[in-house]
Amino acid sequence: MELLTNIGLNHYLTISALLFGFGLFAVMTRKNAIVILMGVELILNAANINFLAFSKFNGGMEGVMFSLFVIVLAAAEAAVGLAIVINIYKIFRSVDVSAIDTMKE
């Protein structure tokens, strides 16, 4: 009970682990490119939570600063990623990544 009520580092890490797992699952299994992007966002958020948690319990500012940069990065990534998805769509008339297997050849 103590473990449940005394919110510590492990709680946050658990949340981030779950988010990471879901994000990874999305990236791995979903065919829709948009959903894959969403999974990526989940992973990034999981990382952010970790950064901030460690920062909080360490008393340093590095985690905060990094999570800030991660957010910036995520914004850039989302923009470019979506642009790519749209281009893919233009070319293949689909965002089904399983259909886009030209790398096979």
Partner 1 sequence: MNNATFVTIFYIFAAITVFSAAFVVFSKNVIYSAFALLFTFFGAAALYVFLSADFIAVTQIVVYVGGILVLLLFGVMFTNSIMQADLKTDVLHVVPGTLLLVVTVGGLLFTFYTTGTWKPSEVQLQGSVVERIGIETMSRFVLPFEMASILLLAALIGAAFLARYDNVHNNEH
Partner 2 sequence: MHSLIQLSIAVLLLPLLSFVILIFFNKRLPRRGDFLGVGILGTTFAISLYIFWSVVVQAYDPAFRVAWDFTWIDLGNVPGVGPLVIKMGIVIDNLTAIMLAMVTLISFLVHLYSTGYMAGDPRYGRFFAYLGIFTFSMLGIVLADNLFAIYIFWELVGLSSYLLIGFYFEKDSAADAQKKAFLANRVGDIGMWLGILILYSQFHTFSYQEIFANLAAGKFGMSEAWLTAAGILLFMGCVGKSAQFPLHVWLPDAMEGPTPVSALIHAATMVAAGVYFVARIFVLLTADALHVIAFIGAFTAFMAATIAITQHDIKRVLAYSTVSQLGYMVLGLGVGAYSAALFHLVTHAFFKACLFLGSGAIIHAMHHEQDMRWMGGLRKHMPWTFATFTLATLALAGLPLTSGFLSKDAILAGAIGFATAEGGGVYWLIPFLGFFSAMMTAFYMGRQIWLVFFGESRTHLKPADDHHHGHDAHAAHGHDLHHEESHGVHEVAWNMRAPLVVLAALSVFAVYSPDPLDGAKGWFMSMVPTPATVVGSSSGDSNHSTAASPAHHTGILLAEAVPAGAHGAETDAQPEGVASEGHGAEAGVHGEAGAHEFSDPRQAAIAHAAHEAHNPAIMISSVMVVLGISLALVVYVFRIIDPDRTAAGIRPLYLFSFNKWYWDEIYQATFIKGSVVLSKVLSWIDTNIVDGAVNGVAVVTKKVAFTSGGFDRYVVDGAVNFTAFFVNTTGALLKKLQTGKVQTYVVMLMLAVIGYFIYYFTQLIS
Stretch that binds partner 2, among 7-15, 21-29, 43-51, 64-72 (CB under 8 A): 21-29
Cβ 43 to partner 2, closest distance in Å? 11
Q: Which helix (H) or strand (E) holds 34?
A: helix 33-58
Q: Which two tokens stand for residue 2?
A: 């103590």
Convert residues 5-24 into a mask of x (bound to partner 1 by CB under 8 A) and - (unbound): x-xxxxxxxxx-xxxxxxxx
Nearer to partner 2, 2 or 101 (CB): 101
Residue with tokens 């470019």: 80
Q: Which two tokens stand for residue 74?
A: 């995520």
> Does the footprint of partner 2 cover residue 103 (CB under 8 A)?
yes
- What is the DSSP-derived secondary structure letter of residue 104? G
Q: With beta carbons less than 8 A apart as the criterion, state whether 23 and 41 touch.
A: yes
Q: Which does 103 bind (CB under 5 to 8 A by kind): partner 2, partner 1, none?
A: partner 2
Convert residues 51-90 into a mask of x (bound to partner 1 by CB under 8 A) and - (unbound): -xx-xxxxxxx--xx-xxx-xxxxxxxxxx-xxxxxx-xx
Q: Is 59 helix (H, G, I), strand (E, B) or coil?
A: coil
